[in-house]
């Protein structure tokens, strides 16, 4: 989102009014979730996110661009949310789980954002009132987990966007937008590749030389400034760019990759841990990324593979191997050509080869070789539903009883499941910490120590970026290899696997109380929820089911079902340069 001239100062009184409204809604949400007063609001990520966004917008409207940038970067570091200071959001902002949430546009009063959703621009010159290419949302808009609003569209007041749905056209007030193409049962037949692909590039990486790493960093700076419409202007401007939340994670990866290629594996792992715990991005030290990379929203990014020059990865993208450990061999991940573009919530999974100039659209999940140049579009379709329909019925009590094993036994089962999932490589530190903190918070909640449970939950959110409700009843064998952005409020059996940027909970647009235990999904034994998949509402998932990458499930799934979405379709080839 490029900076534009501020429309004029906003009164401090108006900023305080909006923040007071934010505080009221956030306090009500926290009270419903934890059945009690939330305590000091500054310890809660939703309120910190709203406070820093208000200060950033106030500073930007006053012309204090440096202060606005500092507040925005503080928001990204403390909560994992990326809100542009230009965003003009009315009072009553509610961001349930800020990690991985992005916002570039304007919205009215009582705007609700659930996990991993975002609004952003498209490169179109149309202005609907929020700026060129930016969306404008009315009052009372509700965005479910993993949903999005893209481009210069007007979303009417009281519009509710169901989990994983995307608004790319104007909507009338009171619209309920939902997915029209549910996931299908997977077939044994594999689709043919989109186009012939050249031999897979497994040549040695040249970044062991410091000169090559330095050239890549210089290309990153030039690309970053070019996207912002600014020319390079000496050391001060370059240093300012490197300290931004967009470039700093890339710089840390460059240094960790240089150390990795020179045999200093332990030091490289330490820098990767800094990238994870500070910027909430997972880029393995073995990954080789060409110069000129542009990653505007690093929180939630997962990358393990090889990419050419000029790659662009937007919010919540995944490029990873089938084994979810950051320590597996680099050749197990995808090999991506030059000038590739991955839109928000896009993924390239497995040891596949992607050609030059390939563009992957929002929500598209690529699991096979693709020759370029081309544009790949998701097969998910969206339609408007009756906003006055009855809410989903309250199901019977969960089939699974709360786990009766001791805390130590549960932690041991979780560790073994995670190690088996990542074998032969070892899991990351954040993955091990995430499940341990959840087990402690759940144990404290069951024993009636709600304050201690809240502290463990809050520590998990702050350190790993995972929001796992302490009231969730999950048996042993829980494995979460990439915890950033994960949101869970479920009743589940043994050996539940939740992969990168997946969500499961009761947050649907028509739910009376999304935080109620009866509203959450009931999941059987041995279930796997894959990358970018979501399960929402009081649904039942049978034993051994697999919710494939990108699947959005709002209905029951039988035991043993393997669900998938169709492979992305090739819609166009960009014109030759």
Could you report the per-residue pLDDT of 87-136, keeping only the tens digit for each? 999 999 999 999 999 999 999 999 999 999 989 887 767 888 888 889 99
- How far is residue 569's CA from residue 228's CA, in Å, rounded to a whole number? 31
Could you report the per-residue pLDDT of 205-236, keeping only the tens digit for each? 888 999 999 999 999 999 998 888 787 777 87
Burial of 524 (0-12, 13-18, 19+ CB in 10 A): buried
Could you report the per-residue pLDDT of 546-557, keeping only the tens digit for each? 998 888 888 889
- How far is residue 292's CA from residue 306's CA, in Å, rounded to a whole number? 14
CB count, 10 Å around CB of 73? 18
The structure tokens listed for 43 are 């310890």
pLDDT value at residue 396: 45
> Per-domain residue ranges for the chain?
12-179, 210-381, 407-544
**Is pLDDT larger for residue 35 or for residue 357?**
357
* Inter-residue contact 286 to 307 (CB < 8 Å): no
**What's the rounded mean pLDDT across residues 505-513?**
67
Could you report the per-residue pLDDT of 38-87, keeping only the tens digit for each? 778 888 999 999 999 999 999 999 999 999 999 999 999 999 999 999 99
Write the Ramachandran bin of 174: left for phi over 0, alpha for psi from -120 to 50, otherwise beta.
Answer: left
- How far is residue 353's CA from residue 340's CA, in Å, rounded to a whole number? 12
* Inter-residue contact 358 to 372 (CB < 8 Å): yes
Closest CA to 12 of 1, 23, 20: 20
- How far is residue 74's CA from residue 119's CA, in Å, rounded to a whole number? 20
Coil/strand/helix, residue 107: strand
Class at the top of the CATH hierarchy for domain 407-544: mainly beta
> Distance between the two ends of the chain, CA-based, in angstroms?
24
**Is pLDDT larger for residue 463 or for residue 331?**
463
pLDDT value at residue 576: 41
**What's the rounded mean pLDDT across residues 289-300?**
92
Indicate the pLDDT class of residue 506, thresholds 50, 70 and 90: confident
pLDDT value at residue 232: 74
Indicate the pLDDT class of residue 258, thresholds 50, 70 and 90: very high
Q: Is the pLDDT of residue 393 over 70?
A: no
Indicate the pLDDT class of residue 575, thresholds 50, 70 and 90: very low
pLDDT value at residue 395: 46
pLDDT value at residue 168: 86
Tell me if 210-381 shares its fold with 407-544.
yes
**What's the rounded mean pLDDT across residues 425-450?**
91
Domain 210-381 has CATH 2.160.10.10: yes
Phi, psi of 72 (to 5 degrees): -65, -45
- How far is residue 476's CA from residue 438's CA, in Å, rounded to a whole number? 12
**Is pLDDT larger for residue 370 or for residue 231?**
370
In this prediction the pTM is 0.87
- How far is residue 155's CA from residue 134's CA, in Å, rounded to a whole number? 11
Coarse DSSP helix, strand, coil percentages of the chain, rounded to the nearest 5 percent: 30, 20, 50
Q: What is the dihedral of CA 243, 119, 520, 522, to 10 degrees?
A: -80
Average pLDDT, the chain: 85
Q: Is the pLDDT of residue 155 over 80?
A: yes
**What's the rounded mean pLDDT across residues 486-492?**
92
- Options 1.10.150.570, 2.160.10.10, 2.60.40.10, 3.20.20.80; CATH for 12-179 is 2.160.10.10
């Amino acid at each position: 989102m490029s900076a534009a001239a501020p429309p004029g100062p906003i009164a401090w009184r108006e900023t305080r009014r909006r923040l007071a409204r934010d505080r009221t809604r956030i306090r009500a949400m926290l009270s419903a979730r934890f059945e009690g007063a939330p305590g000091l609001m500054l310890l809660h990520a939703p309120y910190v996110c709203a406070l820093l966004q208000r200060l950033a917008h106030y500073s930007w409207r006053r012309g204090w661009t440096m202060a606005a940038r500092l507040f925005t970067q503080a928001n990204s570091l403390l909560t994992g949310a990326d809100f542009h200071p230009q965003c003009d959001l009315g009072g009553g902002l509610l961001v349930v789980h800020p990690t991985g949430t992005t916002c570039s546009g304007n919205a009215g009063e009582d705007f609700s954002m659930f996990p991993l959703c975002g609004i952003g621009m498209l490169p179109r010159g149309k202005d609907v009132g929020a700026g060129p290419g930016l969306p404008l949302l009315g009052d009372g808009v509700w965005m479910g987990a993993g949903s999005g609003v893209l481009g210069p569209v007007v979303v009417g007041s009281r519009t509710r966007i169901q989990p994983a749905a995307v608004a790319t056209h104007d909507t009338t007030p009171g619209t309920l937008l939902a997915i029209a193409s549910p996931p299908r049962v997977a077939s044994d037949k594999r689709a043919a590749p989109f186009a012939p692909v050249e031999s897979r590039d497994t040549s040695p990486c040249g970044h062991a030389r410091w000169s090559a790493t330095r050239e890549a960093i210089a290309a990153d700076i030039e690309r970053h400034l070019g996207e912002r419409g600014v020319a390079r202007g000496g050391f001060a401007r370059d240093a300012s760019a490197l300290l931004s939340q967009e470039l700093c994670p890339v710089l840390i990866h460059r240094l960790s990759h240089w150390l990795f290629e020179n045999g200093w594996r332990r030091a490289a792992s330490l820098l990767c841990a800094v990238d994870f715990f500070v910027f909430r991005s997972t880029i393995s030290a073995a990954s080789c990324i060409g110069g000129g990379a542009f990653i505007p929203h690093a929180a939630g990014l997962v990358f393990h593979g090889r990419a050419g020059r000029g790659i662009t990865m937007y919010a919540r993208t995944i490029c990873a191997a089938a084994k979810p450990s950051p320590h597996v061999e680099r050749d197990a991940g995808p090999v991506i050509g030059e000038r590739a573009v991955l839109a928000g919530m896009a993924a390239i999974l497995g040891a596949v080869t992607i050609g030059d100039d390939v563009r992957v659209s929002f929500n598209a999940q690529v699991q096979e070789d693709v020759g370029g140049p081309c544009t790949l579009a998701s097969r998910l379709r969206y339609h408007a539903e009756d906003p006055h329909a009855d809410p989903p019925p309250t199901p019977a009590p969960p089939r699974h009883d709360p786990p009766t094993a001791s805390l130590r036994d549960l932690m041991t089962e979780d560790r073994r499941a995670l190690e088996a999932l990542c074998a032969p490589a070892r899991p990351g530190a954040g993955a091990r910490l995430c499940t341990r903190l959840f087990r402690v918070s759940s144990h404290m909640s069951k024993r009636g120590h709600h304050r201690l449970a809240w502290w463990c939950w809050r520590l998990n959110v702050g350190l790993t970026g995972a929001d796992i409700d302490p009231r969730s009843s999950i048996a042993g064998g829980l494995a979460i290899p990439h915890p950033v952005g994960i949101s869970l409020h479920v009743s589940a059996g043994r050996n539940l696997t939740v992969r990168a940027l997946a969500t499961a909970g009761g947050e649907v647009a028509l739910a009376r109380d999304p935080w109620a235990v009866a509203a959450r999904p009931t999941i059987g034994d041995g279930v796997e929820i894959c990358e970018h998949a979501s399960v929402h509402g009081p649904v039942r998932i049978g034993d051994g089911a697999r919710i494939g990458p990108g699947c959005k499930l709002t209905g029951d799934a039988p035991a043993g079902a393997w669900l998938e979405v169709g492979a992305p379709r090739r819609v166009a080839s960009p014109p030759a340069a």
